[in-house]
Amino acid sequence: MTFSAQDVVPISEARARLTELSDEVVAGAEKLLTKNGAAYVAIVDAQKLDYYHALEAEHANLVLLSEAEIGLREVLAGQRVSNADLLKALS
């Protein structure tokens, strides 16, 4: 997402405008707070944050499923490592 100039707020200003900024975020905006002129933290709607966390968990699940599929294909193709070789590689 791109931020407009009004969505970038110094922390010093945000302290005084927290309620106003929060209302804007709930209405759909995202605010980027800066510290010493550099991006520092963002204010996002709590429901969006929950959604972002759900997406992150879903992505992790997809990565695990992909790795499991690769492993299963290797086993079915006869490409496997003996327990002794695995333990040796891990030590």
Indicate the residue type of 4.
Answer: S
Which pTM was predicted?
0.57
pLDDT > 80? residue 1: no
Same domain, 57 and 86: yes
- 89's tokens: 């590689």
Same domain, 40 and 51: no
pLDDT tens, 48-67?
989 999 999 999 999 999 99
Does residue 68 or residue 75 have the better pLDDT? 68
Same domain, 53 and 79: yes
Same domain, 36 and 64: no
Same domain, 39 and 10: yes
Same domain, 22 and 38: yes
Residue 80, CB-side half-sphere exposure with 13 Å CA sphere: 10
Does residue 64 or residue 78 have the better pLDDT? 64
The residue segments making up the domain with residue 80 are 47-90
Q: How many domains does the chain have?
A: 2
Same domain, 40 and 52: no
CATH value at residue 14: 3.40.1620.10
pLDDT tens, 18-34?
999 999 999 999 899 99
